[in-house]
Amino acid sequence: MIKRNQLILGDKSMKNITEDIVAPVESFPGRGWSAMFLGANGLFIFYITVVGIVIAYGMGLLGVTHPTAWGTMIVTFVFWIGIGHAGTLISAILFLFRQKWRTSVARTAEAMTVFAVMTAGIFPLIHTGRPWLDYWLFPYPNQRGPLWVNFRSPLLWDVFAVSTYATVSIVFWYIGLVPDFATIRDRAKDRIRRVIYGALSLGWRGTARNWSHYEMLYLLLAGLSTPLVLSVHTIVSFDFAVSQLPGWHTTIFPPYFVAGAIFSGFGMVVTLMTLVRIGFPQFKDYITIDHMEVMNKIIMATGLMVGYAYGSEFFIAWYSGNEYERFTFINRALGPYAWSYWVMICCNVLIPQVFWFKKFRRSIPVMFTVSIFVNIGMWFERFVITVTSLARDFLPANWGMYQWSFYDAGVLVGSFGMFLTLFLLYLRLFPAISIAEIKPVMNVGKEGSHHG
């Protein structure tokens, strides 16, 4: 018999759990949350300003040049899509495998997925250079005659994949919130709050019939969401893999991108959970060090997968005998962008190895620092893949450097303002932990509660 650590600390009662989780929704925001929100909101306003200037004056303000026609917009789009993968993995896949430790972090991970996909979706629209014509991307009967979208283009596949992923993720997240909205409705002391949360709870009464339908629907959505974890970033990788450019047209990209997405997604979950524990101290009894340690183990495992992919790329480039492919990877490691390649290697492969040591896996400052480096490294991974292959292609006469500008930095940094603004609003308006899911596991790990 194996005794597990408690999933909930502090010997909580049912009433304690409800009051702890809804406290941020029912109380006035503290100074810490207010300071973070003002900072994120200021960054969001800066982001809107930069994007508006880029739309008004054109893509020439960014670093895109000939031949590097893909730059910050596409790199950051792939980065944010990857961030959204951990939420679906924690919520759907671990739910199907009946992993009880997911209950404390699933709700916030789902919210992170929704906000990351919302942030990502803006970048391809701006990258077209004429966002006022983006409705042309959607296949529908129109007055333009034979001018239809190219269904053979992976860029169009992105439209379908990302929109499907966003829709299912939002529905999955919302359905999980319904019982908790009803709890807030029933506790509301003013009419406005009662009406708003009453509408959001969809008439939930907590009857056996309600729970039966809820559990069936939640299971179906979890099953529907699971293949999306693999399909969405696989299709995003096709943007590169179906091309003829050395360094891009490789069959390793789909599994490599999916592993990298889970890696970066869990890095962001650890970052956000650390901030949630600091901002709302009562959540430390629910988001425990054991929860964080499990996620750190996943970061270490997927980091090794990503490192294996980096090594196999070099091996295949050498083994293939293709001189263009070989040159591309040597150029990545030793060429003018070598600094970005080695930043990627250090952040994604070397730094996460500290999690082999239990002391570091369970240290909040260490895991927070490593999670920041993981996301820096994953952004640089997309930068290395995109820019190094475009900057030096088949003809030396066609080579050129990516001209990084202030607007590239503004778009990248500002996107975190949008993401954090949405996330901080979520923490104030919605229960950050599922009350309905946390109560059934409150005694798991206590004396007398064992698992074989």
Q: How far is the C-alpha of 368 from the C-alpha of 296, rounded, in Å?
A: 10
What domains sit in the chain, N to C, each tagged with a CATH number?
A: 14-137+150-441 (1.20.1630.10)
pLDDT in 10s for each residue of the chain, 452 residues: 445 677 777 777 888 888 888 888 888 877 878 888 999 999 999 999 999 999 999 888 998 888 888 889 999 999 999 898 878 888 888 888 888 888 888 888 999 999 999 999 999 989 988 888 888 877 777 777 767 788 888 888 888 888 888 999 999 999 999 999 999 999 888 889 899 999 999 989 989 999 999 999 999 999 988 888 888 889 989 989 998 888 888 888 999 999 998 899 899 999 999 988 888 888 888 888 988 999 999 999 999 999 999 999 989 988 988 888 899 999 999 989 999 999 999 999 999 999 999 999 999 999 999 999 999 999 999 999 999 989 988 888 888 888 889 999 999 999 999 999 999 999 999 998 888 888 887 766 555 444 43
Per-residue confidence (pLDDT) for residue 209, from 0 to 100: 92
Q: What's the CA gap between 270 and 264, in Å, rounded?
A: 10
The pLDDT score that the predictor gives to residue 80 is 94
Q: Is 27 exposed, middle or buried (0-12, 13-18, 19+ CB in 10 A)?
A: exposed
CB atoms < 10 A from the CB of 358, how many? 10
What span, in angstroms and rounded, lies between the C-alpha atoms of 359 and 356?
Answer: 9
Q: What pLDDT is recorded for position 446? A: 58
The pLDDT of residue 451 is 41
According to DSSP, residue 440 is labeled G
Task: Give the C-alpha separation, 438 to 436, whole Å.
Answer: 6
Task: Please count the residues of the chain.
Answer: 452
CA 56 to chain centre: 29
77 touches 124 (CB < 8 A): yes
Write the single-letter amino acid at 411: V
Residue type, 316: I
In this predicted structure, what is the pLDDT of residue 373? 96
CA dist., res. 251 & res. 257, Å (int): 11
Token pair of 24, please? 């941020």
pLDDT of residue 133: 86
Q: Could you tell me what percentage of the chain is helix, strand and coil, using 3-state DSSP and rounding each to the nearest 5?
A: 75, 0, 25
Name which of 222, 62, 42 is nearest 126 in CA terms. Answer: 62
Q: What is the pLDDT of residue 445?
A: 55
430 contacts 197 by C-beta, under 8 angstroms: no
Return the SS3 of 70. Answer: coil
Contact (Cβ atoms closer than 8 angstroms) between residue 87 and residue 403: no
Can you give the pTM of this predicted structure?
0.90
In the three-class reduction of DSSP (H, G, I as helix; E, B as strand; rest coil), residue 204 is classed as coil
CA dist list (Å): 297 to 260, 287, 352:
15, 16, 9
pLDDT value at residue 154: 84
DSSP state for residue 135 in the 8-state scheme: G
The answer to whether 432 and 283 are in contact (CB under 8 A) is: yes
